[in-house]
Amino acid sequence: MTREEAIAKLKALHTSYDPESDHADADKVICELLISLGYEDVVIEYDHVDKWYA
């Protein structure tokens, strides 16, 4: 994933009105970007952290 693709995906989330879902979707975009940059090991550890969205 390129920087531009990540930005476009994140901008698309601006138009939604579901912050909880948007936050989870934004996390996925950031993780995809990290993986594309060679940081899959970081994403794996991040996935092990409990998440809570209110």
User: Is residue 52 included in any domain, yes or no?
Assistant: no
What pLDDT is attached to residue 51?
85
Q: Which domain holds residue 25?
A: 3-47
- The strand ranges marked E within the chain are none
Quick: pLDDT tens for 1-54. 999 999 999 999 988 788 888 999 999 999 999 999 999 999 999 999 998 876
What pLDDT is attached to residue 16?
77
User: Is residue 16 included in any domain, yes or no?
Assistant: yes
User: Is residue 36 included in any domain, yes or no?
Assistant: yes
User: Is residue 9 included in any domain, yes or no?
Assistant: yes
User: Is residue 24 included in any domain, yes or no?
Assistant: yes
Please tell me the total count of domains within the chain: 1
What pLDDT is attached to residue 34?
98
User: Is residue 54 included in any domain, yes or no?
Assistant: no
- Would you tell me the crossing angle of helices 3-12 and 19-36 to the nearest 10 degrees? 170
What pLDDT is attached to residue 17?
81
What pLDDT is attached to residue 13?
92
What is the pTM assigned to this prediction?
Answer: 0.85
